[in-house]
């Protein structure tokens, strides 16, 4: 977003004063990208208000003067940053959670901030903290349906949430969430005390009982419970620094290594991987030894690694106290994201983040027309192959995002087009988009790469292969190649991406037939308008046909793929 597009009335500065650190951010809620809440500035100051409230002997104490002075100084620095960006005073919000809420001298602490900085501190009650955290999770993904946990430094919140794609309404408990005093820092202290006194078993029973009672009090809707039973268990959505650290450790031990997507938001792991306690402990322990040598786990600080035993303790309790968990999704959304997402109109919250993220790169009205042509090239019905769920994978939202970015890399040299497109969702123009699954990042990157021929330089071959390994079905990889070839034809017919309403240059229609041997045959009918020179497009049509050749199948000539027959038809 250009500086000229940062209208002050749409800028919002948030101070998230948590237990383990203070997070500062400036975001824009300016249309048309308000749904993904683009971040213009962010910083974290590692002041632990939780640790500041305990003496060396473990006794509870007020937040000390030096800590208060450090907090005030960092606030004053951020106030200058807000002025540099032109954030309006009424759009600056300071939010405080567990550590500030329970501090012995909370009132004096907040009064000092007001006196020396001029900002009021908004205290989030326990239940409201959980509600805001749940909204942060809702902002992090297109759809949410399951249990939600937010692990902070001083407390953890448990709730449930249902948010369907394209639906403005969100469902969650009336109480918001249940707050329990088992944050990562608090749990580390409690666990150390229990080990010293030989009362680990008592602490384990306490945590399990608290989690069971919390879950029972949430009154999970019957529909959500039944859906979980039918699907083999709940999806558990996790946010908060302690859980994100756990997620990064799991990412470092993923079957696809090194893992190609660096952002934690949208990462999915199975129940078994999530409960790989010993693996996570071992990896975290190594971080203590290797961090100074630059060999630690990415995004896992020594402090986070030191909290892993406590988080492992909590994870074990969750596995025993909660109903069956099928899979886990890690979310970046927290207090900042939840507060901003809550302020958005319902119709904006209902928008699909993948579509919203590509809007700035769209021109006039190309994507809708191009998207519709892409959809028309996917035959309806089944492929005579129940494992080939191309209609479920290549949704209108994904194809809309693909269409919106199909032309973006046209200005690049041919040497760069495919590789720049491949990196677009991880370190390129879409890397910072909020609310997108890892699967979607991989799919869109591979589609855009295929649009430019799919050939990448040796430096990116391994990266492309690792993205492909994140795709669950080889059939999906074949369809990516088919759609990439099709995109080449669309770009040749519509070089500027604009489709006229009257007398279209191209019509597509796809259907399934059978070959002489009874195998599926994808028939694509191509009808050009009178102004199109068909002869000049023969290479693009040949490329679509070649996508169906045996040598282009995934896994070799006996691998996965469909035969394709592209035929010219009168319009």
What pLDDT score was predicted for residue 166?
A: 66
Q: What pLDDT is attached to residue 294?
A: 47
Share of the chain above pLDDT 70, in %: 95
pLDDT for res 361: 85
Query: What's the pLDDT score for residue 293?
Result: 43
Percent of the chain whose pLDDT exceeds 90: 77
Q: Where in the chain is the domain with CATH 1.10.3210.10?
A: 353-568
Q: What's the confidence (pLDDT) of residue 189?
A: 93
Beta carbons within 10 angstroms of residue 170's beta carbon:
18
pLDDT tens for each residue of 180-226: 999 999 999 999 999 999 999 999 999 999 999 999 999 999 999 99
What pLDDT sits at residue 285? 76
Q: pLDDT digits over 40-76, tens only?
A: 999 999 999 999 999 887 889 999 999 999 999 999 9
Beta strands in 128-240 (DSSP E): 144-151, 156-163, 170-171, 178-180, 234-239
- Tell me how far apart the alpha carbons of residues 560 and 554 are, in angstroms, rounded to a whole number: 5
Instruction: Report the C-alpha gap between 128 and 287 in whole angstroms.
Output: 35
Report the pLDDT value the prediction gives residue 181, as an integer from 0 to 100: 93
Taking each helix axis from N to C end, the angle separating 302-321 and 241-252, rounded to the nearest 10 degrees, works out to 100
Strand partners, 328: 236, 269
| Contact predicate 157/133, CB 8 Å | yes
Q: Please, which contacts does 267-271 make with residues 24 or more away whose CB atoms are closer than 8 Å? A: 267/329, 267/330, 267/438, 268/327, 268/328, 268/329, 268/330, 268/437, 268/438, 268/439, 269/327, 269/328, 269/330, 270/326, 270/327, 270/328, 271/233, 271/325, 271/326, 271/327, 271/328
- Of the candidates 431, 430, 359, 440, which has an alpha carbon nearest to the alpha carbon of residue 398? 440
Number of Cβ atoms within 10 Å of the Cβ of 70: 15
Strand partners, 25: 14, 42
Q: Which residues of the chain have pLDDT under 50?
A: 293-294, 364
- Give 118-155 pLDDT, tens digit per residue: 999 999 988 788 889 999 999 999 999 999 999 988 89
Nearest 10 degrees: CA dihedral of 436, 27, 236, 270?
40
Domain 353-568 grouped into CATH 1.10.3210.10: yes
**What CATH number should be reported for the domain whose range is 3-123?**
3.30.420.40
Beta strands in 135-210 (DSSP E): 144-151, 156-163, 170-171, 178-180
Q: Where in the chain is the domain with CATH 3.30.420.40?
A: 3-123
| 242 burial type by CB count under 10 A (0-12 exposed, 13-18 middle, 19+ buried) | buried
Residue 284 confidence (pLDDT):
76
Q: What is residue 299's predicted lDDT score, i.e. its pLDDT? A: 80
**Could you tell me where in the chain the CATH 3.30.420.150 domains are found?**
127-337
Residue with tokens 């908060």: 240
* Cα–Cα distance for residue pair 258/466, rounded to 1 Å: 8
Q: Cα-atom radius of gyration of the chain, to the nearest Å?
A: 26
Q: What angle do CA 420, 32, 131 make, to 5 degrees?
A: 100
As a whole number of angstroms, the distance between CA 472 and CA 253 comes to 18
Give dist(CA 17, CA 25) in Å, integer. 12
Q: According to the CATH classification, is domain 127-337 in 3.30.420.150?
A: yes
CA distance 244 to 259: 15
Give, in order, the Cα–Cα distances in Å from 221 to each of 172, 226, 321, 444. Answer: 9, 9, 18, 35
The structure tokens listed for 416 are: 């760069």
């Amino acid at each position: 977003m250009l500086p000229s597009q940062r209208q002050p009335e749409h800028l919002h500065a948030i101070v998230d004063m948590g237990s383990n650190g203070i997070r500062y951010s400036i975001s824009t809620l300016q249309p048309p990208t308000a749904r993904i809440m683009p971040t213009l500035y962010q910083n974290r100051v590692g002041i632990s208000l939780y640790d500041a409230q305990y003496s060396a002997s473990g006794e509870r104490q007020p937040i000390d003067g030096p800590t208060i002075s450090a907090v005030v100084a960092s606030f004053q620095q951020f106030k200058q940053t807000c002025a540099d960006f032109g954030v309006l005073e009424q759009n600056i919000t300071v939010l405080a959670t567990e550590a500030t809420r329970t501090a012995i001298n909370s009132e004096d602490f907040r009064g000092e901030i007001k006196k020396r900085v001029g900002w009021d501190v908004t205290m989030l009650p326990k239940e409201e903290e959980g509600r805001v955290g749940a909204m942060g999770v809702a902002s992090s993904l297109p759809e949410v349906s399951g249990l939600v946990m937010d692990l902070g430094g001083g407390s953890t919140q448990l709730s449930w949430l249902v948010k369907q794609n394209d639906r403005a309404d969100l469902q969650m408990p009336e109480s918001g969430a249940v707050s329990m005093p088992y944050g990562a820092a608090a749990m580390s202290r409690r666990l150390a005390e229990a080990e010293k006194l030989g009362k680990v078993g008592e602490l384990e029973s306490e945590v399990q009982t608290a989690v069971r009672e919390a879950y029972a009090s949430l009154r999970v809707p019957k529909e959500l419970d039944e859906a979980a039973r039918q699907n083999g268990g709940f999806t558990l959505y996790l946010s908060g620094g302690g859980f994100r650290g756990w997620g990064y450790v799991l990412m470092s031990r993923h079957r696809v290594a090194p893992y190609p997507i660096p952002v934690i938001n949208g990462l999915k792991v199975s129940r078994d991987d999530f409960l790989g306690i010993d693996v996570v402990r071992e990896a975290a322990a190594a971080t203590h030894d290797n961090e100074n040598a630059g060999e630690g786990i990415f995004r896992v600080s020594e402090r986070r690694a030191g909290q892993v035993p406590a988080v492992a303790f909590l994870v074990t309790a969750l596995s025993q106290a909660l109903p069956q968990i099928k899979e886990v999704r890690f979310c970046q959304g927290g207090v900042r994201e939840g507060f901003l997402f809550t302020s958005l109109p319902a119709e904006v919250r209902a928008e699909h983040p993948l579509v919203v993220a590509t809007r700035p790169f769209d021109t006039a009205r190309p994507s809708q027309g191009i998207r519709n042509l892409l959809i028309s090239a996917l035959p309806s019905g089944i492929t005579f192959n129940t494992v080939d769920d191309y209609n479920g994978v290549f949704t209108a939202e994904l194809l809309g995002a693909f269409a919106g970015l199909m032309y973006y890399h046209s200005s690049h040299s041919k040497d760069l087009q495919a590789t720049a497109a491949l990196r677009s969702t991880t370190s390129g123009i879409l890397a910072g988009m909020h609310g997108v699954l890892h699967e979607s990042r991989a799919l869109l990157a591979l589609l855009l790469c295929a649009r430019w021929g799919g050939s990448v330089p040796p430096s990116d071959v391994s990266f492309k292969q690792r993205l492909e390994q994140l795709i669950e079905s080889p059939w999906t990889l074949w369809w990516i190649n088919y759609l990439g070839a099709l995109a080449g034809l669309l770009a040749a017919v519509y070089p500027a991406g604009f489709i006229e309403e009257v007398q279209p240059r191209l019509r597509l229609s796809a259907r399934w037939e059978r070959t002489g041997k009874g195998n599926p045959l994808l028939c694509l009918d191509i009808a050009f308008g009178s102004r199109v020179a068909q002869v000049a497009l023969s290479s693009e049509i040949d490329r679509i046909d070649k996508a169906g050749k045996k040598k282009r199948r995934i896994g070799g000539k006996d691998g996965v793929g469909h035969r394709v027959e592209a035929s010219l038809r009168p319009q």
